[in-house]
Amino acid sequence: MSQANSYLAELVGAFGDPIAENPTGVMQEAAFRALDLNWRYLTIEVHAADLAAAVAGMRAMNFRGINLTIPHKVEVLRHLDEIAPDAGLIGAVNTVRRDGDRLVGENTDGKGFLRSLQAVPIDPRGRRVVILGAGGAAKAIAVELALAGASHITVVNRSVERGRALADGLARTVGTASDFEPWVSSHRVPDGTEILVNATSIGLFPGIEAVPEVDFATIRPGMVVCDVIPNPPRTRFLALAEERGATTLDGLGMLVYQGAIAFTMWTGREAPTDVMHRALREVFG
Ligand code: NDP
């Protein structure tokens, strides 16, 4: 008796511009292969003016989900049917999942950061946090740490307006005690800080010699120092913090976990994080 085969692949992918160097597809494809799933991750250049048409296209082609990167993370909100509460607070979506005919906007960046903290294991509940930066990554991390019960969050940023808006927003929307400090020179990390996060782009390849200006004498053993930079995984910032006796956490883990959370949202399967981690490590040499 002949048996019908299905050659139909499930589709997910990423929309961005520029996007050619985005390595997410390598990690997701490795995960699909590891679980023997007939899924494809397509890395697609979508210009800002074409986002509405691209979302309509993914609906028409029954994509199971999509990642969004620059410049679409905020603009995409108006094209979706529903926004997850934390993505609404962050004001940006990096992952869309399909719920029947509905497209739901999620943000897995901050969740990925939390998951990498929990893997140490570190519970952010009741902890005092300092976040360097107030851009998209900083916002996602700050909101998830606030929702996870961090007791106090200080935002340190070069642009006063952006930094203050993030700190005020955390206090207003989540109710977390937060304040803002302008980043004027070598930042002294306040006594009692338990988690310090570099959420700026300082140190990202190819600018790998650059280090966020903090007074490393104020970093103490027992402090958890994190970097969002995935490439290189071991930044100079983390190396200097480690010399001071801090526990460090790199941005590669956050990148793997944010992808793993999206993978599970799309496929309903647990993500093979070790396979994904290995695939990205190979990309970053
Ligand atoms: P944004 O452009 O939204 O924000 C950049 C932030 O860095 C701003 O706060 C900006 O300050 C600050 N900054 C940049 N250069 C300097 C400088 N020379 N001195 C002081 N502050 C500076 O970027 P994103 O938040 O989207 O991304 C930031 C980094 O996070 C990127 O390197 C990205 O690769 C990484 N990332 C990592 C993820 C992961 O999974 N590991 C996920 C998402 C992002 P100002 O407001 O004053 O301009």
User: Quick one: pLDDT at residue 3?
Assistant: 65
Mean pLDDT in order along the chain per 10 residues (285 residues): 77 97 96 98 98 97 97 97 97 97 97 96 97 96 98 98 97 96 95 97 96 97 96 96 97 97 98 98 90
- Cα 16 to ligand 1 centre (Å): 17
- The domains spanning 5-107+254-284 and 111-249 adopt the same CATH topology: yes
User: Quick one: pLDDT at residue 6?
Assistant: 80
Confidence (pTM): 0.95
Q: At residue 282, what are phi and psi to the nearest 5 degrees?
A: -65, -40
Ligand 1 pocket member 256 (CB < 6 A): no
Tally the residues of the chain.
285
Ligand 1 pocket member 251 (CB < 6 A): yes
**Helix pair 251-267, 109-118: axis angle to 10 deg:** 110
Minimal-distance CA residue to ligand 1 atom 43? 137
The full set of domain ranges for the chain reads 5-107+254-284, 111-249
- Cα 152 to ligand 1 centre (Å): 21
**Helix pair 273-283, 24-34: axis angle to 10 deg:** 140
Q: Which of 187, 191, 189, 181 is nearest to 211 (CA)?
A: 187
Q: Are 174 and 144 in contact (CB under 8 A)?
A: no
Q: Are 227 and 250 in contact (CB under 8 A)?
A: yes
- The SS3 call for residue 163 is helix
- Cα 135 to ligand 1 centre (Å): 6
User: Quick one: pLDDT at residue 116?
Assistant: 96
Ligand 1 pocket member 228 (CB < 6 A): yes
User: Quick one: pLDDT at residue 138?
Assistant: 97
Sequence letter at residue 2: S
- Cα 85 to ligand 1 centre (Å): 23
Task: Please identify, in words, the CATH class of the domain defined by 5-107+254-284.
Answer: alpha beta
Coarse DSSP helix, strand, coil percentages of the chain, rounded to the nearest 5 percent: 40, 20, 40
Query: Could you identify the atom of ligand 1 that is nearest to the CA of residue 139?
Result: 25
CATH of region 111-249: 3.40.50.720
Q: Are strands 65-68 and 95-99 parallel, antiparallel or unpaired?
A: antiparallel
